[in-house]
Amino acid sequence: MIAVMIAAITALISSLLGSWFLIGFFRNRGKGQPILGKEDHGPDHHQSKAGTPTMGGLAIVGSALLGWSIAHIRDGLAFSNQALIIWAGILAMAGMGLIDDVIKVNKGHNRGIFWKKKGYITFGLACLITWLLVAVVDISETISLTRFDWPGWSIPWWLWVLWTALMMWGTTNAVNVTDGLDGLAGGSALFGFLAFTVIGYWSFRNPEIYGVLNHGTVNPLDLAVLSAAFAGACGGFLWWNAAPAKIFMGDVGALGIGAALGLLAVATNTHFLLPLICGVNVIEAGSVAIQMAVFKASGRTRRFFRMTPIHHHFELIGWPETTVIIRFWIIGGICVAASLALFIGDFTRISDALR
Q: Mean pLDDT in runs of 10 for the chain (355 residues)? A: 94 97 88 59 59 90 97 85 94 94 77 67 94 88 87 90 96 94 95 97 87 61 96 97 92 96 95 96 95 88 88 92 95 97 90 67
Give pLDDT, residue 40.
47
Long-range contacts (CB closer than 8 Å, 24 or more residues apart) made by 158-167: 160/130, 160/134, 161/127, 161/130, 161/131, 161/134, 162/127, 163/271, 164/130, 164/133, 164/266, 164/271, 165/123, 165/126, 165/127, 165/129, 165/130, 166/123, 166/126, 167/262, 167/265, 167/266, 167/271, 167/274
Give pLDDT, residue 120.
87
Give pLDDT, residue 141.
87
Give pLDDT, residue 115.
56
Give pLDDT, residue 215.
39
Distance of alpha carbon 7 from alpha carbon 2, whole angstroms? 9
Give pLDDT, residue 140.
84
**Predicted TM-score (pTM) of this structure:** 0.92
Distance of alpha carbon 204 from alpha carbon 188, whole angstroms? 25
- Please give the mean pLDDT across all residues of the chain: 88
CA 67: distance to chain centroid? 17
Q: Note whether 64 and 223 are within 8 A (CB).
A: no
Distance of alpha carbon 99 from alpha carbon 117, whole angstroms? 13
- What does the pLDDT look like over 157-213, one tens digit per residue? 999 999 999 999 999 999 999 998 999 999 999 999 999 999 999 999 888 888 765
139 by DSSP, 3-state: which?
A: coil
Give pLDDT, residue 112.
56
- What does the pLDDT look like over 55-102, one tens digit per residue? 999 999 999 999 999 999 877 788 888 999 999 999 999 999 999 888
Give pLDDT, residue 43.
56
Give pLDDT, residue 266.
95
- Extents of the domains making up the chain: 2-273
Give pLDDT, residue 110.
61
